[in-house]
Amino acid sequence: MNSQPKILAFAGSTRNGSHNKKLLHVAAQAAADAGAQVTEIDLADYVMPLFDGDNFTSDGFPESAQAFKSLVASNDGFLMSSPEYNHGISGVLKNAIDWASRKAEGEAPMAAFKGKAAGIMTAAPGIYGGVRALGQLRLILTGVKLLVLPEQMALSGAAKAFEEDGTLKDPELEATAAGIGAALTNLLMKL
């Protein structure tokens, strides 16, 4: 049992003022309040080239990809929020997952993710709230051997959903986002 699980929180958006970063922060704060040690990062600080198997074979991990993978490996769980691009997750999020899932020499496949857990969400200005991206993200994360919480959130109308301080205007939506962070922390404490 892990008394203070470590959670890495990141959004699949690098945009300033991203709705997904705001939503992620609500869940991350709740995870910290529930007892987790939470590290929020911005993927804009980890600029990685598009994953290319030939380049990886010849050159290994670029510095930014290795730094991100090391962060992934050093945490027990993850909070992720992705915008929906053309009915799927963002390319920057998929690329980051692809890099972190690569095994280094002497390492087991999916070592950075295997046996860990994640909570997922999405936010979008449209009426669907990015819900189509959630299924794709869940599929990818189970593929890298993560346990994904059944609780998830798709926030529609995200452009008008937040107060200036970053909280959600609707208390029920705030509670839903916070619930994902708290549920992840509670699960990790039991693992």
CB 67 within 8 A of CB 43: no
Tokens linked to 95 = 């690329």
**Residue span of the structural domain in which 72 resides:** 6-190
In a domain, 100, yes or no: yes
What's at 161, amino acid-wise?
A
Domains held by the chain: number: 1
CB 79 within 8 A of CB 118: yes
Please tell me the predicted confidence (pLDDT) of residue 1: 54
Q: What is the pLDDT of residues 59-114, one digit of tens each?
A: 999 999 999 999 999 999 999 999 999 999 999 999 999 999 999 989 999 999 99
In a domain, 1, yes or no: no
Task: Provide the pLDDT confidence category of residue 191 given band limits of 50, 70 and 90.
Answer: confident
Q: What is the pLDDT of residues 168-187, one digit of tens each?
A: 999 999 999 999 999 999 99
Dihedral angle, C-alpha 153, 156, 158, 161, nearest 10 °? -90
In a domain, 45, yes or no: yes
Residue 87 sits in a domain of what CATH number? 3.40.50.360
Q: Which whole number is the average pLDDT over 114-139? A: 95
pTM (whole model) above 0.85? yes
Measured in whole angstroms, the distance separating CA 47 from the mean position of its chain's CA atoms is 16
